[in-house]
Amino acid sequence: MGQAGCKSLSRALFDYKTEKYVIAKNKKVGLLYRLLQVSILTYLVVWVFLVKKGYQDIDTSLQSSIITKVKGVTFTNTSDLGERLWDVADYVIPPQGENIFFIITNLIVTPNQRQETCAESESIPNAVCYEDSDCPPGEPVITGNGVRTGRCLQSGNMQRGTCEIFAWCPVETKSRPEKPLLGKAEDFTIYIKNFIRFPKFNFSKTNVLDTKDRDFLKSCRFGPKNPYCPIFRLGSVVSWTGSNFQEIALKGGVIGIQIEWNCDLDKAPSECNPRYHFSRLDSRIPGNSVSSGYNFRFAKYYRDEAGVEFRTLMKAYGIRFDVMVNGRAGKFNIIPTIINVASGVALMGVGSFFCDLVLIYFIKKSHFYRNKKYEEARSGHQGNGKVNVEQLRDLQTVEA
């Protein structure tokens, strides 16, 4: 057995396999093969080259810079602030003109706060007390405004009171106004200047019209007919997200402005245009949800004649804008073209392999095609050149 195995192994080492092409006269398999070829060719031409532009080299490493400016003034007259004119320096945070900025539309103002002792707000659950032992001194009030002093302050004959705290007093107690303070801010304008560059192709562009007319930006407004005027009306931006301006101005919210650059550099540079998308990013839950809106607090500090520091606390509601830029650029390159063509040729081979499986395993007379496809030829063995009757019958049956 050992010698026989070694002998067969030595023979197999010196075997040579060569392709043999068999033309199968089978209409079903032939039709299947042509359908696969047409499908693969359609996929290669339509999807790979026309839709996905597989003949192009792609650059997605977009370099971008954003400059923003807001313009507009409004006038208010309230009991806390009196008569006041609001300009950009008052309602835009931060003032540097970055890709993320905030426009104040509503305020709760607590003026003249000083560091002293006072009663904690009754709306803070952790500040409720019935006796002094409920207010351990030195411990901060959770979600409160200051540190407990050890006293429980009760008003009148009520047993329930609130802890005395050391904090900026008086603490904030007012509720949000029912109407936005800057309700007329929807006529403000937002200027968004965007510079982009695709480093692989050394291609740069901006979203501002290249013109020498200095009055262009003073009079134009963004629209479908004027895509290179990056000046947006605030109320229009809010409406494009499907929101109501007065509603978002009252509670606040977050709006995303996405600038998309998809550039085909095989065409003229004028064909590379920005596309804008506006969306509401914060959660909008129907009803009076605690998670809706956007607000934060800040303070302005002063000193009196005696040098004692005091401040005005402001809880600001408003609209936060996040300007995001993305894009890709493509240009013809022979290398991805060759790679995709070669992939298509390889898929053609897969079609042939699939039809071979159908031919030699899944149809009638598959054994006949299998015998014709795989034939063993030995050197020194000569046939008599004759075809026996059974082979002729099989061949006639297959051709029929």
Q: pLDDT, tens digit, for every residue of 199-238? A: 999 999 999 988 888 888 888 999 888 889 999 999 999 9
| pLDDT of 392 above 50 | no
pTM above 0.85? no
Between 324 and 34, name the one with better pLDDT: 324
| pLDDT of 93 above 70 | yes
290 DSSP assignment = T
| pLDDT of 309 above 60 | yes
pLDDT at 316: 94
- Neighbouring residues of 75: CB distance < 8 A, sequence distance ≥ 6: 83, 84, 85, 86
* Each residue's pLDDT tens digit, 364-379: 766 666 666 666 655 5
Mean pLDDT of 245-268: 93
Nearest 5°: phi and psi at 274? -75, 150
pLDDT at 227: 86
CA distance 68 to 93: 11
* Alpha carbon distances (Å) from 255 to 102, 181, 280: 10, 20, 5
Pairing of strands 82-86, 92-93: unpaired
pLDDT at 7: 67
**pLDDT confidence band for 153 (50 / 70 / 90):** very high
- Lookup: tokens for 382: 């000569």
Q: Return the axis-axis angle of helices 366-373 and 334-361, rounded to nearest 10°.
A: 130
Mean pLDDT of 137-162: 90
pLDDT at 386: 47
pLDDT at 29: 75
Among 136-140, 160-164, 357-361, 393-397, which is the least confidently predicted range?
Answer: 393-397
pLDDT at 178: 85
Name 311's bridge partners: 113, 301
| pLDDT of 127 above 50 | yes
Residue 103 sits at the vertex; the CA angle it makes with 101 and 109, to the nearest 5 degrees, is 125
How many residues are recorded in the chain?
A: 400
| pLDDT of 398 above 50 | no
- Lookup: tokens for 311: 């401040």
Among 5-19, 71-85, 305-319, which is the least confidently predicted range?
Answer: 5-19
**pLDDT confidence band for 146 (50 / 70 / 90):** very high
| pLDDT of 4 above 70 | no
Pairing of strands 82-86, 74-78: antiparallel
